[in-house]
Structure 1
């Protein structure tokens, strides 16, 4: 078990909270008895014994927190609990083999230039926006997704940390007007790839690719769409590739949350509107 995976497991079992609580309580006990023992002329070894007992109690507290969890019916072993009994939402999800939540991981830019990061980020965001309109689908937000752009966690740990069953990931390679996008949809519960595909074409094909990826996900997850959702899934904000590109750059700057980048974002948004007023 690598360090990050181990830390994720500690968080899932909620070990940190009882550990911190124990340290605070132990410190308070030590402070109180450092006053009480001298007041009653207690031998010096009383305080030493107390300190040793508190030190020994710390790892025991961690072990108990690792093995057991507090439930409405009392303290029970995590592996012996029913999902309903657990008061931890993360543990509850794991005992239920996770939810059907989908997480669209940030598409990785594998172009020769880092200047295309805005494009891969924008592609990720637009797929999330398309899918978020489906009532039957539970999908993680853009902000949640972007936190895992450079994550080194394996798929199992990601699914556990995000309380998700499905992961969509991919790569983007852009060279001038040539575009190559690879995608993969993973079912974490079954540890299988539901589908993987490579799309190649011109930069103007990005709208079609987004729609195809979204429809593939709907089909793979066997989601039932309303007529309104079907229309929304295929809707395109613009067909002007230059306006689309300016809009992606503007959104990239917008999320940097500084005044200078905000001003750049405003100029780019205005440029996009000028290129495609509709």
Structure 2
């Protein structure tokens, strides 16, 4: 018997359905129905986070994980599923769970696990509130600088059948109410508003915007603080709204605001941290330094924000914040100019960004941030169809690897490299590893979650894709790009009406955004609202200045609507244009599918594969292409893309 006893270190999760016993006594049929529904909602999350369901214990689960972080993320996703489900339920049919997690040594055999670690996990679950998650100190030590939401100490607790009191922690869930949740969660969710440009000339506007972005990046290095992304906060540039209104729209508890003036080699900054609820000033400071001290200013601001929000910095976080990316002020100025133009998301702006950052790395070959910015430029250039994919992707990979070689702790190049691995090399496992590494390095970097969501969509893991885009949206709630991606993920999982509402919200804030009209049109198509669909896709083509991307999609839809003459006319225009400029071959293929020219369409898809045009990856989830997915030619392509089941 002794030979059969085996041990291993594991993270153990216990769940319990609150009030199940008493409900069974009052209404057994309702209790059984809710139990079945709870199990249906919860079980998929175990496998998604590499958990092993050991057994059910009454109305609860005993689940084992190899990673404490996976266990905590699984627990969060379980409670989020419960929260969303309960929002649509009557009060007497809501399902509330308690979850406890512990890490320790377990004895296993015969398909079951035993030991003190299992016993402690079961006792920790009892401490959790209804709908809550509690963890032990052993779990906290492994996840505190990696998990996206605040964790607060509840103090030592005496647990049944456990000899000594144990330190217990509670995960503060975003939807929780009450003072504890507000202080711990909302205050540590912060918006860095655009710094007011006190410089006389608009030509120096790049500096104020660049400093705003760099402050966002500096504060984002603190894992226990969630920072709203640049895209959302820049909408408040120029003022016009007060702290209270901004905080409601961004769902933040703290706001950092200020002004900047650069005069020759001198830099003056005024910043203040404000509690969004009371509008009380938590901290403020004036800086009057040499331009070469800009990194010391950014570091000091980030550390003072952490102190004001009562966040204890890890030594690694402190050293990361204090790290100087370059000793060359001119190289840094060029980098700021590059980021300013990259954020315009225009071809001309992207080209300028490349030139500025190339000059920056000439001045300082060890400037990792500038190499990371160059990688971003080339990822965007292929995504928008401005450059041939093979060329753009290879340059993006070169620059991302160079940035990582200089500074492995930068999140941005890992995210760019992940996109290259997926969209260009079809190395899906390596892409996931890079995305997860980027998340661990900088949990507030919204692009990581957005791009990871996209890759999960390509892989057919639609529920996971939806979860990741929700995380991106929480960090960048006013981003129009993330907003439409959220709509697409809703559409992909069959929540069409919600998707349409999401697209309409984006259009309400961005009425001239061509891509939002394009996505809304295809959502209308899935509801057989063909006239409205065509109208929206025509708008997208006009608003984009007849961009080939949107013209091709319009041709596809016209073909599906039986208007193949109009579709073929657009296809002729696209093929003529492709002789003088790059037109994404996957988009021409999509137009040909709509027009019923299937053989030609697959020929273009083969060209798209050879070019490594990432638009081919959208084929699997494109509305209306269901019949084409059953064609053996797609099966062949899917296998080469590394996506076959």
Structure 1 length normalisation: TM-score?
0.65
Give the Cα separation in 1 of the matches to 2:315 and 2:260: 31
Alignment map for 1:81-160 (pairs within 5 Å): 97=182, 99-100=186-187, 101-160=189-248
Alignment map for 1:5-154 (pairs within 5 Å): 72-73=89-90, 97=182, 99-100=186-187, 101-154=189-242
Verify the 8 A CA contact 1:168 1:186 in the aligned structure 2: yes
Verify the 8 A CA contact 2:295 2:322 in the aligned structure 1: no
Query: SS state of the match for residue 222, structure 1?
Result: coil
Query: SS state of the match for residue 153, structure 1?
Result: coil
Match of 2:336 among 241, 248, 257: 248
Give the Cα separation in 1 of the matches to 2:174 and 2:223: 23
Query: SS state of the match for residue 302, structure 2?
Result: helix
Q: Does residue 194 in structure 1 map to residue 282 in structure 2? A: yes
Verify the 8 A CA contact 1:93 1:163 in the aligned structure 2: no
Query: SS state of the match for residue 225, structure 1?
Result: coil
Alignment correspondent of 1:228: 316
- Which runs of at least 4 in structure 1 moved beyond 4 Å after TM superposition? 89-98
Q: Does residue 215 in structure 1 map to residue 298 in structure 2? A: no
Cα offset for 1:94?
A: 9.3
Verify the 8 A CA contact 1:177 1:203 in the aligned structure 2: yes
Give the Cα separation in 2 of the matches to 1:139 and 1:259: 28
* Structure 1 residues 16-38: Cα deviation after superposition (integer angstroms, max 9, x where no partner): xxxxxxxxxxxxxxxxxxxxxxx
Aligned length, in residue pairs: 196
Verify the 8 A CA contact 2:191 2:227 in the aligned structure 1: yes
Verify the 8 A CA contact 2:195 2:209 in the aligned structure 1: yes
Cα offset for 1:193?
A: 0.2
Alignment correspondent of 2:580: none
Query: SS state of the match for residue 239, structure 1?
Result: coil
Alignment correspondent of 2:256: 168
Distance verdict in 2 for CA 1:93–1:170, change over 3 Å: farther
Cα offset for 1:91?
A: 8.9
Give the Cα separation in 1 of the matches to 2:262 and 2:255: 23
Query: SS state of the match for residue 170, structure 1?
Result: strand
Cα offset for 1:191?
A: 2.4
Q: Does residue 184 in structure 1 map to residue 305 in structure 2? A: no
Match of 1:258 among 340, 346, 352: 346
Verify the 8 A CA contact 2:255 2:274 in the aligned structure 1: yes
Verify the 8 A CA contact 2:243 2:279 in the aligned structure 1: no
Give the Cα separation in 2 of the matches to 1:219 and 1:90: 22
Query: SS state of the match for residue 172, structure 1?
Result: strand
Query: SS state of the match for residue 131, structure 1?
Result: helix
Q: Once superposed, what is the RMSD of the aligned Cα atoms?
A: 2.3
Give the Cα separation in 1 of the matches to 2:218 and 2:190: 13
Cα offset for 1:90?
A: 10
Give the Cα separation in 2 of the matches to 1:114 and 1:134: 32
Verify the 8 A CA contact 1:170 1:184 in the aligned structure 2: yes
Give the Cα separation in 2 of the matches to 1:157 and 1:253: 29
* Structure 1 residues 172-228: Cα deviation after superposition (integer angstroms, max 9, x where no partner): 112222221000100122321011111012211211111111111111111112222
* Structure 1 residues 98-134: Cα deviation after superposition (integer angstroms, max 9, x where no partner): 8221110011101111122111111111111122122
Contiguous gaps of at least 5 residues in structure 2:
1-86, 92-130, 132-172, 367-645
Give the Cα separation in 1 of the matches to 2:344 and 2:231: 12
Give the Cα separation in 2 of the matches to 1:246 and 1:133: 23
Distance verdict in 2 for CA 1:91–1:150, change over 3 Å: farther
Distance verdict in 2 for CA 1:229–1:147, change over 3 Å: same
Verify the 8 A CA contact 1:165 1:188 in the aligned structure 2: yes
Structure 2 length normalisation: TM-score?
0.29
Alignment correspondent of 1:206: 294
* Structure 1 residues 56-108: Cα deviation after superposition (integer angstroms, max 9, x where no partner): xxxxxxxxxxxxxx86446xxxxxxxxx9xxxx99977996582211100111
